Amino acid sequence: MIRPILTYPNPELKKKSAPVTIITEATRDIVRDMTETMYEAPGVGLAAPQIGIHQRIIVIDVSARDEQPDLIIAINPVIVHAEGDAYEEEGCLSVPNYAANVHRHAQVVVKALDPVGNEQTWRAEGLLAIAFQHEIDHLDGILFVDHLSPLKRDLFQRKQRRLAATPPEAP
């Protein structure tokens, strides 16, 4: 089932998510919904808080749209090692129509559980490393715009307030 994606400044996006203590069929239903929602959006990643579920679950697929899907499902993901510097443009399904360069680690090692409870490890670099960091941030109530300099964040917030105050166009 495709779920609505919460957008900035919804306060639900700032809440920290709880670890998944038992993986149940309900957990796998959430994963299926998240996957459908991410692909429909379309996006390269989605965290459970973005659909209003405060559990530590993320889905990622950085494959190109014309390639075979390469879905990653990570329950309770943790970055266990990070190194290097990356400064790339990021966007977010919860912050539509805005992108900005963000400092991240260039390489990460992530451990998590898969949907049946087996521990998985990913060594990631490039877009996948950035996606892991971005989605794990969501689990801690952090949006990519929180990584911006105070000046850029202020400009972003002003733009968002202007957009919110603009009446919608008539059909």
Cα 146 from Cα 142, distance rounded (Å): 6
Backbone angles phi, psi at 6, to 5 degrees: -70, 145
- Residues contacting residue 23 through CB under 8 Å, at least 6 positions apart: 75, 113, 115, 116, 117
Which residue, chain included where needed, has tokens 């920290």?
Answer: 16
CB-based contact 47:38 (threshold 8 Å): no
CB-based contact 73:114 (threshold 8 Å): yes
Question: Which residues participate in catalysis according to the annotation?
Answer: 135
- Is residue 54 classed as helix, strand or coil in its secondary structure? coil
Cα 160 from Cα 40, distance rounded (Å): 24
